[in-house]
Amino acid sequence: MSEAIFNLDATVRTDLGKGASRRLRHQDKVPAILYGGDEAPVSLTLDHNKVIQAQEFEAFYSHVLTINVDGKKVEALVKDMQRHPYKPKVTHIDFQRVIAGQALTTNVPLHFMNEEAAPSIKTEGGHAEHHMADIEITCMPKDLPEYIEVDLMDVALGQTLHISDLTLPKGVESVELTKGESHDLAVVTIKTAKGPSVEEEAAEEGGEEEATEE
């Protein structure tokens, strides 16, 4: 993966408001805002083509990015991205500053491993019902993982994995678990594939017998 997706060039914009943002979009630019830390929020302009290429990578949303703001490098995370309702266009981005030595809170994606190879799915007819696609974590910037793995190989039919069952990297904590045991949310369940009920099977068998007698 090219490191270029983690580096974006931006310029400070002083022409603000909806009209100004609309004009930028017509010029293939993306209006954005950078906030957080002890500094005041800054309105930015980025090149749309660079943004649209970078956002295709999952890591773009969970990686510490370097934004070159008029020559000054700032580390930040994508906190929100707005898109056009039907065109492949990014219309606005919110960036949050990352401060070295200060813990950050963000969401990282879950990667479900061995889903097709797990015996409960491959040979026992189960299927994985995902309850979460990402997880909110807190950690130091240096410990930020790109994603969290959820291994389904040994998960039994009917079993549910919760946040507390996940193996988080060193230095990474679940935000939900810090709120107490009642926040140990379900992540994935291996459920039995839905088939015909006993009554439906009996009715089908009875119909077949009547047809044979006739």
* pLDDT profile of the chain (214 residues), mean per 10: 74 71 66 89 90 89 91 92 84 91 92 95 94 96 94 96 96 95 96 61 54 52
Listed residues 73, 99, 125: the one ending a domain: 99
Distance between CA 75 and CA 99 in Å, rounded?
Answer: 8
Nearest to 67 by CA among 92, 97, 101: 97
Query: Structural domain of residue 32, as residue ranges?
Result: 3-99
The answer on 180 and 119 residing in a single domain is yes
- Tally of structural domains, the chain: 2
Distance between CA 177 and CA 109 in Å, rounded?
Answer: 17
Residue 199: its pLDDT value, please? Answer: 47
The answer on 136 and 62 residing in a single domain is no
- Residue matched to tokens 């009920």: 197
Residue 179: its pLDDT value, please? Answer: 94
Distance between CA 89 and CA 75 in Å, rounded?
Answer: 24
Residue 200: its pLDDT value, please? Answer: 47
Give CA 133 to chain center in angstroms: 6
Which is it for strands 65-69 and 90-97: parallel, antiparallel or unpaired? unpaired
Listed residues 77, 99, 121: the one ending a domain: 99
C-beta neighbour count of 192 within 10 angstroms: 12
The answer on 162 and 123 residing in a single domain is yes
The answer on 117 and 88 residing in a single domain is no
118 contacts 191 by C-beta, under 8 angstroms: no
93 contacts 35 by C-beta, under 8 angstroms: no
SS3 130: strand
Nearest to 78 by CA among 91, 94, 54: 94
Residue 3: its pLDDT value, please? Answer: 61
Residue 18: its pLDDT value, please? Answer: 64
Residue 83: its pLDDT value, please? Answer: 87
Nearest to 61 by CA among 122, 146, 165: 146
Look up the CATH number of the domain holding residue 51.
2.40.240.10
